[in-house]
């Protein structure tokens, strides 16, 4: 039988990143494409111990359906973690446990915006936000960044533009710290300016902070949420980068009136998040293992970042790139107007993979850009991969 | 700050069932309300062993992001399980691992139907399907059942009705075996007739089969999927009732052209399902533990069903109820036109809880109905709870 399908998915296409996952496993391929944490950072031994104890002590709850808003024990640990780690003062009523942060990107897009509405993102922005907007038929205008994050004048310009077409943005989405894909971090001044603009125009802000704990240089900058005295910021956190992404456990901090809507929607999306993973995350926080794990992860990733930056300096001509103080990615821009999607075939032939920059724009991509991940590959593969990338660029420029 | 929200959730309200979950834990309350498997059926010891081995052998994959369509190892075990258990012959390309079956109800509603479109369900139907339809602004017409499942003449009548208003249903949703909430099972004859109608009109069929393995009496009836020689049925399975609902691991069998759309949508919904839970499910199938666990679960639940049926016979007047051959629920209908939502207050005062029947209709509820779960409570609580329910009905009839 051949079916008729709805029009709901008309703006969606398969993420190039997800599709590229398969190259990661091809023999000889060095992939800077994925967004994968390094398995060396997974606290396997500690998690094994935790799992044993969870089954010993909580089997009948950890294997049962949970509450839609999440495990109360875990929410309380998240509250304490946010206070200690990010100076975010909140209450468990303002916390929702989510099936990864991805679920929140989808849900918040649907809760705040009707089909055809507009939101504001950074340019480039996280590909998972783009797919969530597309799935909900929501449009975006995007704000240019420099190495200090979102350019506030550009934000004002986009707000003016939306006003001129009679639209008010339904929210501003930002990854202010170690942005994915660009690696930039928004300065404190700009954070304050962004909040002022949000307050003046009553525009909700979604702060996505998956990488905040992974700082390798420079000084910590307060999260938007910790600066927010008008309760306008919805904050997204995840354990994907500081415990394990396989456990699909994230959290969202927001007003109860946002979370009550999210709760109703989540009942339709998946009823509740995985109980076992929530109990594991609870013990991971409760036992303080997260505080031992983060420095280890930083040590590993800092070295890899440094190796990639040094290798780029040494080998790559005809391009500029960001110098991230943390996170997992850097952003490379070719000096020539070369389309990195077209160059990808040559790169794969040279056994190196990246994500073409155009994946990170809902519209108007900068085609001569790419995202490079520096956390997954071995140290020696980073050196060799950058060499292959340099060769690929050189060959492409010549042609 | 006070926000404007979208209109997308305008048809949604919090599920009474999810809200009732809190009564389960109130001291002295006997709840027939939840849809919870009995924790005695959770194979804790076996799962503990499996978890240890998973971390030992697959830590770097089980803690990592997985493929959106699911773990290939697990998909292959599901394929074998479906062949052995349900005589469903399929291929891993036709299988998608999902975050519980709930995710598929949401995703399929969105993939097949535009806002304002119509689908066909049973009356009453699963509350998670209603919330998925509401979340996608999809309408339904519903087909009456008797103890032999969907009444085919009623289905034809509804198709005629839709034709008369210029609509074609986007799918037919059915739980043919041990239906939730009614406990009815569709006969083989009706299954064949349903498929014929679907073929003639080219209407996709969604067969939801969470309870098929839990048969306590009568003879197994083939699934629609195993009877389907035109590839029109999308089949939903779950490990919630035969392993653990806390692991949120389900699966969907369908055509690749359906699954490719689902894959794209799932990237926006949650990227991928929990990897650890998928590895656990894989080993649970691979080691054949599921085949030992199902008979144990049947033994426990059969007894509880029998106790509830006997208690109802003994104590409850002024009502009729279904006699399910399996599953977790039975459906009770009062002889008087009493609104069970209004009666609930009295029931809770008498320390017994149920779900009012109206929760299981998108529109036109039969208000004098309720769903009773017989799998969660202890044997003695079932007896006592039914006594309290009988008392509640008696008091209500008098007033």
Domain, as residue range, for B343: 16-43+292-398
| Residue where the block lists tokens 């002022």 | A196
Q: Spell out the SS3 assignment of B309-357.
A: HHHHHHHCCCEEECCCCECCEEEEEECCCCCHHHHHHHHHHCCEECEEH
Confirm or reject contact between B185 and chain A (CB < 8 A): no
Confirm or reject contact between B359 and chain A (CB < 8 A): no
Q: Which residues pair with A336 in a beta bridge?
A: none
- Tell me which residues of chain A, numbers 317 to 356, contact chain B at a CB-CB cutoff of 8 Å: none
Q: Which residues pair with A319 in a beta bridge?
A: A334
Residue B109 sits in the same domain as residue B233? yes
Residue B29 sits in the same domain as residue B118? no
Confirm or reject contact between A269 and chain B (CB < 8 A): yes
In-domain check, residue A60: no
Confidence (pLDDT) at A12: 87
Query: How many other C-beta atoms can be found within 10 angstroms of the C-beta atom of residue A224?
Result: 26
Residue B180 sits in the same domain as residue B117? yes
Output the CA–CA distances (angstroms, integers) from residue A259 to A6, A98, A103, A107, in the order listed: 29, 11, 13, 10
With an 8 Å Cβ cutoff, are A42 and B60 in contact? yes
With an 8 Å Cβ cutoff, are A270 and B99 in contact? yes
Cis omega before residue B124 (within 30°)? yes
Confirm or reject contact between A248 and chain B (CB < 8 A): yes
If DSSP codes are grouped into helix, strand and coil, which group holds residue A11?
A: coil
Give the integer Cα–Cα distance in Å for A128 and A15.
8
Give the closest-approach CA distance of B392 to chain A in angstroms.
28
Residue B111 sits in the same domain as residue B223? yes
Residue B336 sits in the same domain as residue B257? no
- State the burial class of residue B380 (Cβ atoms within 10 Å of its Cβ: 0-12, 13-18, 19+): exposed
Residue B192 sits in the same domain as residue B226? yes
Confirm or reject contact between B210 and chain A (CB < 8 A): no
Q: Report CA A53 to chain centroid distance, whole Å.
A: 31
Can you give the pLDDT of all 399 residues of chain B as single tens digits? 688 999 999 888 766 666 666 666 678 999 999 888 999 999 999 999 999 999 999 999 999 999 999 999 999 999 999 999 999 999 999 999 999 999 999 999 999 999 999 999 999 999 999 999 999 999 999 999 999 999 999 999 999 999 999 999 999 999 999 999 999 999 999 999 999 999 999 999 999 999 999 999 999 999 999 999 999 999 999 999 999 999 999 999 999 999 999 999 999 999 999 999 999 999 999 999 999 999 999 999 999 999 999 999 999 999 999 999 999 999 999 999 999 999 998 999 999 999 999 999 999 999 999 999 999 999 999 999 999 999 999 999 998
With an 8 Å Cβ cutoff, are B277 and A274 in contact? yes
With an 8 Å Cβ cutoff, are B59 and A51 in contact? no
In-domain check, residue B9: no
Quick one: DSSP state of residue A364?
S
Give the integer Cα–Cα distance in Å for A82 and A223.
11
Quick one: DSSP state of residue A215?
B
Could you say which of A268, A289, A310 is where a domain stops? A289
Could you say which of A252, A269, A289 is where a domain stops? A289
Give the integer Cα–Cα distance in Å for A175 and A209.
6
In-domain check, residue A10: no
- Tell me which residues of chain B, numbers 23 to 62, contact chain A at a CB-CB cutoff of 8 Å: 35-37, 39, 42, 44, 47-48, 51-52, 55-56, 59-62
Q: Can you give the CATH number for the domain in which B325 is found?
A: 3.90.1150.10
Would the CA dihedral through A111, A117, A123, A126 be positive or negative? positive
Give the integer Cα–Cα distance in Å for A48 and A50.
5
Structure tokens at B48: 């503990």
Query: What average pLDDT does the segment A320-344 reach?
Result: 96
DSSP result, B176-245: -SS-TTT-----HHHHHHHHHHHHHHT--EEEE-SSTT-B-SS-----HHHH-SSS-EEEEEESTTTT-G
Cβ atoms of residues A269 and B136 within 8 Å? no
Query: How many other C-beta atoms can be found within 10 angstroms of the C-beta atom of residue B310?
Result: 13
Give the integer Cα–Cα distance in Å for A331 and A322.
5
Which residues, 6+ apart, have CB-to-CB distance to A58 below 8 Å? A279
Confidence (pLDDT) at B12: 87
Residue A167 sits in the same domain as residue A272? yes
Q: Which residues of A touch B62 (CB under 8 A)?
A: 246
| Residue where the block lists tokens 């009453």 | B124
Residue A241 sits in the same domain as residue A297? no
Run of H or E residues at B119: strand B118-123
In-domain check, residue B264: yes
Domain total in chain A: 2
Looking at the partner chain, which of B6, B100, B232 has a beta carbon nearest the beta carbon of A271? Answer: B100
With an 8 Å Cβ cutoff, are B68 and A18 in contact? yes
- State the burial class of residue B391 (Cβ atoms within 10 Å of its Cβ: 0-12, 13-18, 19+): middle
Residue B259 sits in the same domain as residue B304? no
Query: What average pLDDT does the segment A320-329 reach?
Result: 98
Single out the residue of A150, A104, A153 nearest to residue A125, CA to CA: A150
With an 8 Å Cβ cutoff, are A199 and B1 in contact? yes
Give the closest-approach CA distance of B130 to chain A in angstroms.
8
Task: Name the residue in chain B with its Cα closest to that of A35.
Answer: B65
Confidence band of A2 (pLDDT split at 50, 70, 90): confident
Residue A34 sits in the same domain as residue A71? no
In-domain check, residue B159: yes
Q: What is the mean pLDDT of chain A?
A: 95
Run of H or E residues at A111: helix A100-112
In-domain check, residue B7: no
Rg of chain A's alpha carbons, rounded to an integer? 21
Helices B127-135 and A256-269: angle between axes, nearest 10 degrees: 120
In-domain check, residue B54: no
Q: Which residues of A touch B247 (CB under 8 A)?
A: 63, 274-276
Residue B201 sits in the same domain as residue B328? no
pLDDT in tens, A129-181: 999 999 999 999 999 999 999 999 999 999 999 999 999 999 999 999 999 99
Give the closest-approach CA distance of A20 to chain B in angstroms.
11
Task: Name the residue in chain A with its Cα closest to that of B101.
Answer: A270
Cβ atoms of residues B117 and B162 within 8 Å? no
Residues A385, A391, A397, CA angle at the centre, nearest 5°?
Answer: 135
Could you say which of B289, B324, B344 is where a domain stops? B289
With an 8 Å Cβ cutoff, are A39 and B270 in contact? no
Q: Which residues of B touch A6 (CB under 8 A)?
A: 110-114, 117, 170
Confirm or reject contact between B281 and chain A (CB < 8 A): no
Residue A345 sits in the same domain as residue A214? no
pLDDT in tens, A244-302: 999 999 999 999 999 999 999 999 999 999 999 999 999 999 999 999 999 999 999 99
Give the closest-approach CA distance of A307 to chain B in angstroms.
23
Q: Which residues pair with B140 in a beta bridge?
A: B119
ipTM over 0.85: yes
Q: Can you give the CATH number for the domain in which A228 is found?
A: 3.40.640.10
What is the rounded end-to-end Cα distance, in angstroms, of chain B?
47
In-domain check, residue A327: yes
DSSP result, A270-339: TSS--HHHHHHHHHHHHTTHHHHHHHHHHHHHHHHHHHHHHHHHHH--SEEE---SBSSEEEEEESS---
Confirm or reject contact between B165 and chain A (CB < 8 A): no
Which residues, 6+ apart, have CB-to-CB distance to A290 below 8 Å? A81, A242, A243, A284
Give the integer Cα–Cα distance in Å for B303 and B327.
12
Q: Which residues of B touch A56 (CB under 8 A)?
A: 48
Give the integer Cα–Cα distance in Å for B233 and B191.
12
With an 8 Å Cβ cutoff, are B55 and A44 in contact? yes
Q: Report CA B229 to chain centroid distance, whole Å.
A: 24
Give the integer Cα–Cα distance in Å for B329 and A272.
21
Would the CA dihedral through B371, B377, B379, B385 be positive or negative? negative
- State the burial class of residue B45 (Cβ atoms within 10 Å of its Cβ: 0-12, 13-18, 19+): exposed
Give the closest-approach CA distance of A273 to chain B in angstroms.
7
Give the closest-approach CA distance of B384 to chain A in angstroms.
23
If DSSP codes are grouped into helix, strand and coil, which group holds residue B223?
A: coil
């Amino acid at each position: 039988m051949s079916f008729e399908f709805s029009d709901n998915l008309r703006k969606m296409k398969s993420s190039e990143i997800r599709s590229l996952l398969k190259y990661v496993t091809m023999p000889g391929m060095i992939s800077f494409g994925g967004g994968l944490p390094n398995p060396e950072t997974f606290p396997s031994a500690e998690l094994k111990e935790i799992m044993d104890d969870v089954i010993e002590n909580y089997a009948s709850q950890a294997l049962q359906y949970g509450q839609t808003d999440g495990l109360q024990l875990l929410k309380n640990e998240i509250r304490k973690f946010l206070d200690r780690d990010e100076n975010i003062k909140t209450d468990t009523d303002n916390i929702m446990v989510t099936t990864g942060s991805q679920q929140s990107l989808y849900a918040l897009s649907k809760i705040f915006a009707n089909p055809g509405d507009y939101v504001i993102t950074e340019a480039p922005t996280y590909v998972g936000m783009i797919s969530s907007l597309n799935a909900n038929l929501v449009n975006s205008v995007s704000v240019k960044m420099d190495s200090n994050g979102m350019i506030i004048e550009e934000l004002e310009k986009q707000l003016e533009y939306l006003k001129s077409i009679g639209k008010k943005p339904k929210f501003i989405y930002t990854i202010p710290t170690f942005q994915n894909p660009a690696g930039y971090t928004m300065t404190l001044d700009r954070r304050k300016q962004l909040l002022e603009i949000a307050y003046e125009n009553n525009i909700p802000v979604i702060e996505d902070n998956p990488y905040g704990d992974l700082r390798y240089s420079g000084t910590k900058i307060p999260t938007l949420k910790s600066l927010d005295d008008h309760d306008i910021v919805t904050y997204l956190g995840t354990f994907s980068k500081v415990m394990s992404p396989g456990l699909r456990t994230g959290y969202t901090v927001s007003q109860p009136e946002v979370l009550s809507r999210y709760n109703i929607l989540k009942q339709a999306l998946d009823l509740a998040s995985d109980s076992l993973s929530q109990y594991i995350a609870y013990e991971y926080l409760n036992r303080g293992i997260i505080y031992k794990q983060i420095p280890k992860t930083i040590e590993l990733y800092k070295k890899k970042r440094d190796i990639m930056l040094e290798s780029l300096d040494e080998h790559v001509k005809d391009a500029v790139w960001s110098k991230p103080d943390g996170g997992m990615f850097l952003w490379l821009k070719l000096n020539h107007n070369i389309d990195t999607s077209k160059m990808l075939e040559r790169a794969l032939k040279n056994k190196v993979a990246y994500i073409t920059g155009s994946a990170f724009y809902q519209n108007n991509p900068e085609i001569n850009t790419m995202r490079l991940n520096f956390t997954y590959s071995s140290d020696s593969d980073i050196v060799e991969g950058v060499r292959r990338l340099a060769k690929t660029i050189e060959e492409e420029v010549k042609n």
